[in-house]
Amino acid sequence: MDARSIIAALRDGRGLPADSARWFAAGLASGEVTDAQAGAFAMAVLLKGLSAGDRVGLTLAMRDSGQVMAWSLPGPVVDKHSTGGIGDSTSLLLAPALAACGAYVPMISGRGLGHTGGTVDKLESIPGYRTDLGADDLHRVVAEVGCAIVAASSDIAPADRRLYAIRDVTGTVESIDLITASILSKKLAAGLEALVLDVKVGSGAFMKTMEDARALAQSLVSTANGAGCRTAALITDMSQPLASTAGNALEVLEVMETLTGASVNQALWDVTVALGGEALVLANLAGTAEEGEDQIEEALESGRAAEVFGRMVAALGGPADFVERYPDRLPAAAIVRDVPADMAGFVAEIDTEALGHAVVHLGGGRLRGGDRINPTVGLSDLLPVGEPVDRHEPLARVHAATAAEAERAVAAVRAAFRLCDAAPEEPPLIHERVG
């Protein structure tokens, strides 16, 4: 077997048998497959597509190109994945809430991608928090605490790491088959029994239309279930930021306010609860989604989720008193500026992707690989769609390192909001369930 024959078969529409997928994934991981061959493979998949069975085969082959974790725990091993958005910090609420309900959550998360924020970057705004855990330490923390949110190690799905970088420079990022295999190979390598997916749709998502979001959700759900992991997806709204903050330390602050009951963002709460209800059903810890939602709400309201989060932070190197003293422990920006509305009216529409780019340009994301993140910068007090606003009243607040960067961000954020005279219809938080 060789790369040329596998690529030719894909090019000619003859598919990707499981043994070919295994050979190619192993070659990606070992370096036997060249960059040129990997690019040709990705383009052939993009243009010709894969059958449902071939998609499962490629996902499993990429999963098995590295370490696959195994667990021996008294409860089910569960995780959640989001396709990315702005102000989406549900993972930080959901992981400890699931753990408080009897699940074990080895949440292997990513960094910011393009205009969207990354869970790993958010947690690294907590002083001392370590995301680079080896397998033994991850096993220990999950067993002791119930959850650990960490970055993927180099041993997890190395074939995907190689192919992902090549897709980025060969115009093949948009392939749903390759997106599916990329997401699931890493998640399934964590040894999951159940997985809930949050597929975003709207101006701040990678999938802008319901048609594209539905296609991705169906591909992810069918492939994960075909690979033996009980999976369902919610298609949730990203036509506006999910929470009132966007930026690493700012989002952690909002999460802590929610966990401790100091201030609750209802949209963030509702999506977290809905995802948690689905996850508990998939894990056989609830009979219905409604029962699961009740359990997640109780874990959040009682403070049990906050207690688990605090133990996770301490176990991963963060402050032992983080839950009690989070306002003092999180770093803050040097400059804060309001974004005044230029007219009175209602928030009619938000270019959410533009808000994400504003955070990146403040230093809250990466313009180039290797850029260092400034955890303090970002946006807060973001008004939602439908909110009334007076002229000169703030639409949002910019947190910046310098006055010049703050002024540029103020202009970008103001341009991202469209106001109207009459109250618009507010978009639903959850559009569909798939699976």
Annotated active-site positions, please?
79-82, 119, 167, 182, 186-187
Distance (Å, rounded) from C-alpha 200 to C-alpha 226?
22
Contact yes or no for 271/90 (Cβ under 8 A): yes
Short-list 164, 141, 156, 169, CA closest to 73: 141
> Which residues touch 188 (CB under 8 Å, ≥6 apart)?
59, 60, 63, 68, 224, 227, 229
Supply the DSSP string of 188-206, one letter for each residue: HTT--SEEEEEEEESTTSS
- C-beta separation of 434 from 379 below 8 A: no
Q: For helices 158-169 and 176-188, what crossing angle results, to 10°?
A: 150
Q: How far apart are CA 192 and CA 266, in angstroms?
A: 29
Q: Where are the beta strands (DSSP E) in 325-364?
A: 335-340, 345-350
Which residues are paired to 399 by β-bridges? 336, 378
- Which of 379, 380, 363 lies closest to 371, judged by CA? 363
Task: Report the C-alpha gap between 317 and 311 in whole angstroms.
Answer: 10
Half-sphere exposure of 262 toward its Cβ, with a 13 Å CA cutoff?
13
Angle between helices 289-302 and 266-282 (to 10 degrees): 130
Cβ contacts of 284 within 8 Å, gap of 6 or more:
76
CA 72 to chain CA mean position, Å: 26
- Pairwise CA distance, residues 299 & 354, whole Å: 35
How far is the C-alpha of 186 from the C-alpha of 152, rounded, in Å? 8
First to last CA, the chain: 36
